[in-house]
Amino acid sequence: MDQLSGAHSQGVKAIGYIPNEDRPAFKMAIHEFAGRWYLYCAHFWHSGWSIIDITDPTAPRFVRFIEGPPNTWTLQVQIADGLMITSMEKIPDGWGGDPNGEYGEGFYIWSLKDPENPSLLGHYKTGGSGTHRNFYDGGKYVHTTALPEGYDGHIYVIVDISDPANPKEVSRWWRPGQWLAGGEPGVPFGTLLHGGAFVKGDRAYLPKAIRFRLMDVFRPIWHIYSTSCSLELIAAPGWCPRNRQQPIYLAAFTAWIQLRHFALVTAPHVSHVALPG
């Protein structure tokens, strides 16, 4: 606890610390199994994932470090339904990677039946530079921030993991201009899907980064090609609702995506979003 003795706090109290074998944690997720609580840590400067037993938070126990692929960002971990989803992507230029070296990409699907020794069930690959920050809260779909080959910046890709050994893409969405391989002209620097989607019911909230500016609402622009899942862009204001009455402002552009199987739908109940005529 010496590392925390000089810290200032108000309304909170630090009760535990672990050095993580000198691998700073980045994105994290907590999982409970048979009365024990585990913290799974992704890292920024180390490729791989750490497991810590935090059942007694005053005395956390380091369990193990799982090596990731070399020359790879493994930034995010998501856990639900006894599965762990870990992202992998090529390290961008200027962030310490070897631009000409091999790298891991996409995401791994792990079983947590043995929480201290995850077993690898499957590997989804984008065919490009991998996935950045993804969303998974259970069920059959992983909502990825992906960079497939032929795109200018990360896009939204939904992957079906109902058969973990054979994950399959079911749909994707991107801003017009991003699909270079399809003849689109490109987008302004910094235009990309940055964070993972936040999915609530049949709607996904997408944190887009476009030169770190808030964007105005624009018209629906893309209907998905997939036969198994369809998307329609409803609106893209610079804020998203905390509930139906109280909007909160975000520091990035947010797109609202309506999710429906085999159908495109609208959202007439979202009365506080004015779509242009």
Domain ranges across the chain: 2-194, 197-277
Q: What is the pTM of this model?
A: 0.78
State the pLDDT at residue 60: 96
Ranked by mean pLDDT, which of 68-82, 211-225, 231-245 comes out on top? 68-82
Q: Using one digit for the tens of pLDDT, what is the confidence trace for 188-227?
A: 887 888 878 888 877 787 777 643 222 222 222 333 333 3
State the pLDDT at residue 91: 96
Query: What are the φ and ψ backbone dihedral angles of 238, each rounded to 5 degrees?
Result: -85, 15
State the pLDDT at residue 224: 34
pLDDT band of 3, cuts 50, 70, 90: low
Please answer whether residues 89 and 68 qualify as being in contact, where contact means their C-beta atoms are separated by less than 8 angstroms: no
Q: Using one digit for the tens of pLDDT, what is the confidence trace for 19-35?
A: 999 999 999 999 999 99
Q: By percentage, how much of the chain surpasses pLDDT 90? A: 58
